[in-house]
């Protein structure tokens, strides 16, 4: 992204906020509302300038508070029944909502939030900053790129608690990839499990349909870059207890060969080999 591209996106919100602020500085106001986006809170990938502009609005509300002036910033989640999403395809709607990991809100809810800001309820109860829609579904907690950010720890803990409750109450609950790997009866089966897990993870992170994934192709074919590779590497470390370098992911010949490398370095492989030896 060039500097001019950055400015073209950021300037509308930044300059607009300052212009309104300066124009009304000597005018007594009951409210000053800034419509921001949840993208500014999670840092939406591929939208650095847009996320930064919305993050500025949140900070600007706090700046007005330090001056003793009213201000409310509302971070909106995707709005399902108005504007861009209402006119877009179902696939695009699901893609945007999935990337943010947020629940969508309705136009009616947006209007209710604005009404709350007008009456001062947001300023009095949320410190002037209201974030909407951020709830991590237990089934999606491993697919969100921002979930390891420390400021979302309380949301992650809640999602994991819900997942544990679901697992305890359901005898048919899904087995984790790590547990499935430990239970594998052969190296071939273990590699197949890892390969399937990798393709599912990459599909979710890069938003490429799972059915388009080919285990004989390299991850970079699907648009993997160094930043996303770090996320995949961290997931491999966490779920499969294998330590890989980012370069290994970027230069891996195929999903299959990467899966072989992961198995060779996985701590779970020790358990797997030991269990197989006992069976023999």
pLDDT in tens, 108-150: 889 999 999 999 888 777 888 998 877 766 555 556 777 777 8
Mean pLDDT of 199-216: 86
pLDDT at 166: 53
Going by pLDDT thresholds of 50, 70 and 90, the confidence category of residue 177 is confident
Query: Measured between alpha carbons, how far is residue 201 from residues 63, 121, 145, 224, 231 in Å?
Result: 40, 41, 11, 12, 10
- Determine contact, residues 76/35, Cβ cutoff 8 Å: yes
Query: Measured between alpha carbons, how far is residue 63 from residues 37, 57, 172, 199 in Å?
Result: 18, 10, 52, 45
Q: Put residue 223 in one of left, alpha, beta given phi > 0 → left and psi -120 to 50 → alpha.
A: left
Q: Structure pTM?
A: 0.58
Q: How many Cα atoms occupy the beta-carbon half-sphere of 7 within 13 Å?
A: 3
Mean pLDDT of 92-103: 63
Residue 280 has pLDDT above 50, yes or no: no
Cα–Cα distance measured from residue 253 to residue 256, given in angstroms and rounded to the nearest whole number: 8
pLDDT at 58: 94
Nearest of 36, 29, 40 to residue 120 by alpha carbon: 29
Cα–Cα distance measured from residue 205 to residue 233, given in angstroms and rounded to the nearest whole number: 12
């Amino acid at each position: 992204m060039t500097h001019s591209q950055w400015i073209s996106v950021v300037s509308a919100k930044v300059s607009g906020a300052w212009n309104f602020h300066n124009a009304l500085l000597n005018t007594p106001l009951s409210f000053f509302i800034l419509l921001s986006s949840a993208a500014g809170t999670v840092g939406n990938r591929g939208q650095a300038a847009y996320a930064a502009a919305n993050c500025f609005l949140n900070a600007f509300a706090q700046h007005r508070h330090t001056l003793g002036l009213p201000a409310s910033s509302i971070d909106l989640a995707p709005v399902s029944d108005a504007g861009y999403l209402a006119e877009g395809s179902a696939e695009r709607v699901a893609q945007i909502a999935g990337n943010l990991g947020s629940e969508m809100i309705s136009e009616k809810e947006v209007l209710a939030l604005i009404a709350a800001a007008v009456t001062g309820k947001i300023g009095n109860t949320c410190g002037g900053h209201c974030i909407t829609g951020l709830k991590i579904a237990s089934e999606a907690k491993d697919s969100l790129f921002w979930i390891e950010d420390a400021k979302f720890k309380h949301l992650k803990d809640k999602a994991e608690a819900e997942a544990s409750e679901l697992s305890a109450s359901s005898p048919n609950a899904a087995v984790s990839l790590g547990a499935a790997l430990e239970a594998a009866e052969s190296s071939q089966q273990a590699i197949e499990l890892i390969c399937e897990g990798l393709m599912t993870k990459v599909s979710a992170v890069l938003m490429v349909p799972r059915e388009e994934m080919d285990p004989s192709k390299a991850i970079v074919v699907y648009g993997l870059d160094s930043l996303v590779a770090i996320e995949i590497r961290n997931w491999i470390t966490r779920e499969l207890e294998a330590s890989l370098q980012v370069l290994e992911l970027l230069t891996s010949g195929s999903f299959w060969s990467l899966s072989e490398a992961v198995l060779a370095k996985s701590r779970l492989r020790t358990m797997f080999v030991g269990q197989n030896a006992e069976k023999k």
